[in-house]
Amino acid sequence: MNDSNRYPDNNRNRRGPSGAGSDGLSDGRLVEVHSQLARDKEEPVQGFSLTPIFIVFLFCGFGFWAGLYLTRNSGQFSAGVFDLDAPKLATSGGPAVFEPDAAKGEKLFIINCAVCHQATGLGLAGAFPPLAGSPWVGGNGERMIKAILAGLGGEIEVKGAKYNGVMPNVGAGLSNAQIANIASYVRQAWGNTAEPIMDTKVAEVRKALADRKSPYTAAELLKENPLEAK
């Protein structure tokens, strides 16, 4: 095919070898103008444009990094990671032996028990029985652990005064170690002098109560764990 037929207009304006057009633009100038136009941005269009591939790679890379990060730092997504009382893993491996910690026990007592029994352990006359000097907290500890795990209600007599309130199962959301620390604290605070409680003891009672849904009545609890003769 012949170029002069394809672009008749171009040819019409050509004048001689200099290439000067009737509008005064030389070929060189035309090329320059076009290259300037070509440098301009494309016309904006409606619709979607594909995501640049490097962003896709960036996100894949980020996802990979996030996976690695979670694998290393998620702590198996266990809430126990934040449990200050969970037994620490010794550097040699294997869980360390639980040791009752009075300071932790006191903190947990303030959070979980002091609203009712008061930080002084004296309770509130007519409403909440005292723990200070109460025979209910002594013995092998089962009585108090059961009350904490299952709750306690019905008429109860503590240090010569009668109460009839409801203690919720505050221990349901606490770990064995936490309850052991609380119980150990209660048994040695305010002049109380009972042995500390180990987490294994709490685990034992928790297992025995596994199917229990209802709180204890004081009478029922006394039947299972009578007060020790002084």
The residues that touch ligand HEC, with contacts defined as CB under 6 A, are 112-113, 115-117, 128-131, 134, 136-137, 144, 147-148, 152-154, 156, 158, 163-168, 170-171, 182, 186, 218
Which residue(s) pair with 154 in the sheet?
A: 165
Residue length, the chain? 230
DSSP state at residue 46: S
Residue 85 Cβ, how far from ligand HEC at the closest point, in Å? Answer: 13
Structure tokens at 182: 């609380």
Nearer to ligand HEC, 97 or 161 (CB): 161
Residue 80 Cβ, how far from ligand HEC at the closest point, in Å? Answer: 19
DSSP state at residue 118: -
Structure tokens at 65: 């990094």
Helix, strand, coil share of the chain (percent; to 5): 50, 10, 45
The residue type at 71:
T
Residue 56 Cβ, how far from ligand HEC at the closest point, in Å? Answer: 54
Residue 165 Cβ, how far from ligand HEC at the closest point, in Å? Answer: 3
Nearer to ligand HEC, 167 or 205 (CB): 167
